[in-house]
Structure 1
Amino acid sequence: MIKADERREDIANYVIKLGQVRIDDLVEHFGVSRMTIHRHIDALAHQGVLRKLHGAVTVQPSGIYESTFRYRMTVGRLDKDALARAAMDYVEPGQVIMLDDSTTASAVVPLLFEVKPLTVVTNSMSAAELLTKVDGMDFICLGGQYHRTYNAYIGILCENAISRLRADVLICSASAVRGITTFIQDQQVVRVKQAMMAASSKRILLVDHVKFNKVALHVLDDLTSFDAVLVTDGIGDAVAQQLEQAGVRLRIVRTLP
């Protein structure tokens, strides 16, 4: 059975892709009742992602970029928090920790405050806003071209900055996983993440189980390229067994209710 937040994410992505969609079309496309669609749309409108019109729904006029980032921050909070707590097992005082621009990696930031001294490197503005307020922690913000979709810096300047650094641990995420291959929608983001992987001694991937059996436009890397792949427990035994047989260093993370 599909969870409510998963259904809302699918609806949000569908409307963002098309720009504007009739309510009746959403009912037909997702195969749920009109009341259910209205309930999801009301929640998305409250979060500032979509705007409800007479008989239709559209992306908020503030733009899909700001809306999609705000929305991603609200999706699967329990799963993100569980993955973040598990990721702390790979963090030790004195290390250089690199974080990508994912909302999953951003969930790790508040937990880092308890592990000092640390040097944290990231291109994420949401992470930077938290890290600048903490004493006793060195922080390096990677510059570059600011992109509102991700609330982060990307591009060649960011890639060049990463290439001149070395981190002990990279904590990152991916948009989708099919088989043992990870995917990202934006090619520029792929290049930044791959630069981070090349600059890090240990690579930790955090992935919500709902991202499995999905694809995005660009390949990031194989799961076997990561030192640990942390996945929430909804992945299922069969898939987990297949990944382990393929050589993936898998760790199942329980999501607390």
Structure 2
Amino acid sequence: MSTLYLHAVGLDGHVWDDVTAALADHDALVPDLPGHGAEPALPGPVTLAALVDHLAALVDAHGDGPVDVVGLSLGSMLAQQLAVHRPDRVRSLVLACGGMATDPEVSRGRAATTREEGMAPTVPTTLRRWFSPEALATPDHPGVAYARRRLLTDDPRVVAECWDAMASHDLREALGGIHAPTTVVAASGDASVPPAAMRAVAERVPDARYVEIAGPHIVVLENAAAFARVLEEHRSRVGARVGSGRHGS
């Protein structure tokens, strides 16, 4: 059974490198989202529905579905959307640092700023949201260096369209319909999606377990080892349920 890893806006599949290496996860699906990294942009507007269609097609092309979906930030939102709208593609979920709804005004504001100013002026603020002060103060911190480099090469049009798409993310009334075994991960120092927001997700998904680990919003770039342990525990839990014939609570 394969694992599909979904990254945050502005990054690419390499954000998962330390996690997949720790797990020796050689068969994982670690795509760049459309318009990110090496993946071409969508032919039409970026919407949550279009991204879900893209991911469902990716799972189908891989031919090993349903898959365990691990999402971070925007990736968590897309994992939720996939589980709600294409539940047959999802065996289980790990939802990290991306809640069940966004503040539309904040998302649209970031879209507008990105369109008006481009990427470079937005990078310092983004890094402060994503990383701990200690990481930002560390010369040549590999996670910070990677994120800065990735953001500076992004297409501002794509990033702005992603922010606009995120403005429509609201699954507060739909999470109760997710029956896949789910682990909800909060980062204790997350300034963007605080632990209370992720705990609220866990309270709405019927078969969810809540875990909090140390780190900032892009927690896998500062605490990949702890995140990998959470994934190992999640896989053991899912494997036990599948082995016993239990697929939900």
- Give TM-score, length-normalised by structure 1: 0.36
Specify which structure has the bigger relative contact order, considering alpha-carbon pairs within 8 angstroms and separated by 6 or more residues. 2
> Where is the helix percentage greater, Structure 1 or Structure 2?
2
- Give TM-score, length-normalised by structure 2: 0.37
> Where is the strand percentage greater, Structure 1 or Structure 2?
1
